[in-house]
A and B are shown apart, each in its own frame.
Chain A
Amino acid sequence: MVDLPIMPSPEITPESELFWKAAADGRLSLSYCNACAKPHWYPRAICPFCNSTDTEWRAVSGRGKIYSCSLVSPAKNPYVIAFVSLEEGPVLLTNVFAGDLSAVAIGQNVKVAFAAGERDMTIPVFIVADT
Chain B
Amino acid sequence: MSIRGVASIAGIFEHPLRKAPDKSVAQLHAEVAAGALADAGLSMRDVDGYFCAGDAPGLGPLSMAEYLNMTPRFFNSTDTGGSSYLIHVISAAQAIAAGHCNVALITLAGRPRSEPPVGTGIRGAAQPDLQWEMPYRPAVANLYAMFAARHMYEFGTTSEQLAWVKVAASHHAQHNPHAMLRELVTVSDVLNSPMIATPLHRLDCCVVSDGGGALVLTRPELARSLGKPDIRLRGGGMAIKHQAGGNLDLTWSAAVQSGAAAFDEASVAPADIRYASIYDSFTITVLTQLEDLGFCAKGQGGRFVADGGLISGQGKLAVNTDGGGLCNNHPSNRGGMTKMIEAVRQLRGAAHPAVQVPDCHLALAQAMGGALSTRHASATLILERM
Which residues of A come within 8 Å of B, CB atoms?
Answer: 7-13, 16, 38-44, 48-49, 67-73, 79, 81-83, 85, 89-95, 106-107, 117, 123, 125
Given contacts A72-B142, A73-B197, contact A13 B247 (CB under 8 A): no
Q: Is the CB of A90 within 8 A of B136?
A: no
Contact of A79 (CB < 8 Å), options: B132, B137, B141, B146: B137
**Bound: A54/B245 CA distance, A:** 16
CB of B289 to closest CB in A, whole Å: 18
**Bound: A85/B340 CA distance, A:** 38
Given contacts A7-B135, A42-B132, contact A91 B248 (CB under 8 A): yes
What 0/1 pattern do residues 231 to 265 of B give for CB contact below 8 A with A? 00000000000011111101000000000000000
Q: Is the CB of B131 within 8 A of A83?
A: no
CB of A64 to closest CB in B, whole Å: 11
| B364 at interface by CB-CB < 8 Å | no
Name the residue of chain B whose CB is nearest to the CB of A43.
B132
CB of B133 to closest CB in A, whole Å: 5
What 0/1 pattern do residues 189 to 217 of B give for CB contact below 8 A with A? 00000111111100000000000000000
| B92 at interface by CB-CB < 8 Å | no
Q: Is the CB of B132 within 8 A of A92?
A: yes
**Residue with the highest number of chain B CB atoms closer than 10 Å, among A82, A83, A90, A117:** A83
Q: Is the CB of A39 within 8 A of B246?
A: yes
Q: Is the CB of A93 within 8 A of B195?
A: no
Q: Is the CB of B135 within 8 A of A81?
A: no
Given contacts A39-B246, A92-B246, contact A70 B132 (CB under 8 A): no
A82 contact set on B, CB distance < 8 A: 146
Given contacts A49-B245, A123-B135, contact A73 B150 (CB under 8 A): no
A106 contact set on B, CB distance < 8 A: 149-150, 153
| B68 at interface by CB-CB < 8 Å | no
Q: List 30 A-B contacts (CB under 8 A).
A: A8-B134, A8-B135, A10-B131, A39-B246, A41-B243, A42-B243, A43-B132, A67-B150, A67-B250, A68-B149, A68-B150, A68-B153, A70-B149, A70-B197, A70-B199, A71-B198, A72-B197, A73-B194, A81-B142, A81-B145, A83-B146, A83-B248, A83-B250, A89-B246, A90-B246, A91-B243, A91-B247, A92-B132, A106-B153, A123-B135
Contact of B245 (CB < 8 Å), options: A67, A90, A93: A90
Q: Is the CB of A40 within 8 A of B245?
A: yes
| B269 at interface by CB-CB < 8 Å | no
| B373 at interface by CB-CB < 8 Å | yes
Q: Is the CB of A93 within 8 A of B374?
A: yes
What 0/1 pattern do residues 149 to 161 of B give for CB contact below 8 A with A? 1100100000000
B66 contact set on A, CB distance < 8 A: none
8 A Cβ contacts from B1-34 to A: none
Name the residue of chain A whose CB is nearest to the CB of B374.
A93
Q: Is the CB of A91 within 8 A of B153?
A: no
| B59 at interface by CB-CB < 8 Å | no
| B129 at interface by CB-CB < 8 Å | yes
Given contacts A10-B130, A42-B128, A42-B132, contact A68 B196 (CB under 8 A): no
A40 contact set on B, CB distance < 8 A: 245-246
B141 contact set on A, CB distance < 8 A: 72
**Bound: A123/B125 CA distance, A:** 17
CB of B221 to closest CB in A, whole Å: 47
Given contacts A69-B149, A106-B149, contact A10 B246 (CB under 8 A): no
Q: Is the CB of A117 within 8 A of B135?
A: yes
Name the residue of chain B whose CB is nearest to the CB of A48.
B245
**Bound: A81/B250 CA distance, A:** 15
CB of A130 to closest CB in B, whole Å: 20
A125 contact set on B, CB distance < 8 A: 136
B177 contact set on A, CB distance < 8 A: none
**Bound: A94/B134 CA distance, A:** 9
CB of B152 to closest CB in A, whole Å: 9
B132 contact set on A, CB distance < 8 A: 10, 41-43, 92-93
Q: Is the CB of B250 within 8 A of A72?
A: no
**Bound: A92/B243 CA distance, A:** 9
**Bound: A107/B195 CA distance, A:** 22
Contact of B137 (CB < 8 Å), options: A69, A71, A91, A95: A95
Name the residue of chain A whose CB is nearest to the CB of B194.
A73
| B139 at interface by CB-CB < 8 Å | yes
CB of A68 to closest CB in B, whole Å: 4
Given contacts A68-B373, A81-B145, A106-B153, 19 further A-B contacts (CB under 8 A): A8-B137, A10-B132, A11-B130, A13-B126, A38-B245, A39-B246, A42-B246, A69-B149, A70-B146, A70-B149, A71-B197, A73-B194, A83-B248, A83-B373, A85-B248, A90-B245, A93-B132, A95-B137, A106-B149
CB of B25 to closest CB in A, whole Å: 28
B194 contact set on A, CB distance < 8 A: 73
**Bound: A81/B133 CA distance, A:** 10
